[in-house]
Chain A
Amino acid sequence: MLKENGFLFDVTLCVGCGSCYQACKETNNLPQTNQDFLKDHLSDNTFTVVEQYGEVFTRKLCMHCNEPACVSVCLVGALKKSPTGAVVYDADKCIGCRYCLQACPHNIPRYEWGSTNPRVRKCNLCNDRVNSGLLPACVEACPMEATLYGNMEKLIEVAKKRLKDNPEKYYQHIYGLEEAGGGHVLVISPVPFEQLGYVTQLPKEPMPELTMRAMEKIPSVVMVGGAFLSGMYWLTKRKNQVAKEEQTINGK
Chain B
Amino acid sequence: MKVNEILKPTFWKVVSVIIVTMGLFSTYYRFSRGLGATTNLQDAAPWGLWIGFDFLGVGLAAAGFTIAATVHIFHIHKYEALVKPAVLTAFLGYSVVVCLLVVDLGRPQNFWHPLVMWNVHSVMFEITWCLICYTTVLILEFAPIALEKYNLHAPIRILKIISIPVVIAGVLFSTLHQSSFGSLYLIVPGKLHPLWYSSLLPVHFYISCIASGLSMIIFESYLIARAFTNADGVHNTDLKMNILSGAGFGVLITLIAGLLLKIYDFVNNGKLIYLTILSTETYLFYLEIVLGTVVPIYLLSYRKFREDKKWLYIISVCVISGLILNRFNVSITGLAATSGINYFPSFDEISITMMLVVLAIFAFRIVAKNFPVFESDESGIPVKGNVTINQNK
- Residue numbers of A with Cβ under 8 A of B are 43, 69, 72-78, 93-99, 101-103, 105, 107, 109-118, 199, 201-203, 207-208, 210-215, 218, 221-222, 225-226, 229-230, 232-233, 236-237, 239-240, 243-244, 247
Contacts and interface: CB of A to CB of B under 8 A. Distances in A.
A94 B110 contact: yes
A230 B184 CA distance: 29
A213 B199 contact: yes
Contact of A75 (B128, B175, B179, B187): B128
Contacts of A214: 123, 179, 183, 186, 199, 202
A113 B74 contact: no
A247 B121 CA distance: 53
Contact of A77 (B32, B72, B107, B119): B119
Nearest to A93: B117
Contacts of B2: none
A94 B188 CA distance: 21
Q: Which 5 A-B residue pairings sit nearest by Cβ, starting from the closest? A: A96-B106, A113-B36, A75-B125, A101-B46, A236-B75
Contact of B43 (A101, A225, A244): A101
B156 interface: no
Given A95-B113, A229-B171, A116 B32 contact: yes
14 contacts: A73-B123, A73-B187, A78-B117, A93-B117, A95-B105, A111-B43, A111-B46, A113-B42, A117-B107, A213-B186, A215-B123, A221-B175, A233-B74, A243-B387
Contacts of A95: 105-108, 110-111, 113-114
A124 to B, nearest CB: 18
B271 to A, nearest CB: 16
Most chain A CB within 10 A, of B108, B110, B199, is at B110
B36 A114 contact: yes
Given A76-B113, A116-B32, A116-B33, A208 B387 contact: no
Contacts of A213: 186, 199
Given A116-B34, A229-B168, A98 B387 contact: no
A229 B75 CA distance: 11
Interface of B: 31-37, 41-44, 46-47, 69, 72-76, 104-108, 110-111, 113-114, 117-119, 121-126, 128, 164, 168, 171-172, 175-176, 179, 183-184, 186-191, 199, 202, 383-387
Nearest to B203: A214
Given A95-B113, A117-B106, 17 more contacts: A72-B122, A75-B122, A76-B118, A76-B119, A95-B106, A97-B105, A102-B188, A113-B41, A116-B32, A203-B189, A211-B121, A211-B187, A214-B186, A225-B172, A229-B172, A232-B74, A236-B74
Contacts of A74: 119, 122, 124
Given A75-B125, A95-B110, A221-B176, A226 B383 contact: no
B187 A210 contact: yes
Contacts of B189: 203, 210
B122 A244 contact: no
B124 A73 contact: yes
Nearest to B384: A247
B164 A233 contact: yes
Contacts of B119: 72, 74-77
Nearest to A180: B190
Given A199-B190, A221-B175, A233-B73, A111 B106 contact: yes
Nearest to B75: A236
B385 A94 contact: no
A93 B113 contact: yes
Contacts of A222: 172, 176
B383 A240 contact: yes
Contact of B106 (A94, A212, A230): A94
Given A113-B34, A116-B32, A215-B123, A77 B43 contact: no
Contact of B110 (A96, A107, A114, A199): A96
Contacts of A114: 34, 36-37
A244 B46 CA distance: 57
Contacts of A199: 190
A98 B75 contact: no
A225 B75 contact: no
B376 to A, nearest CB: 16
Contacts of B190: 105, 199, 201-202
Contact of B75 (A43, A103, A226, A240): A240
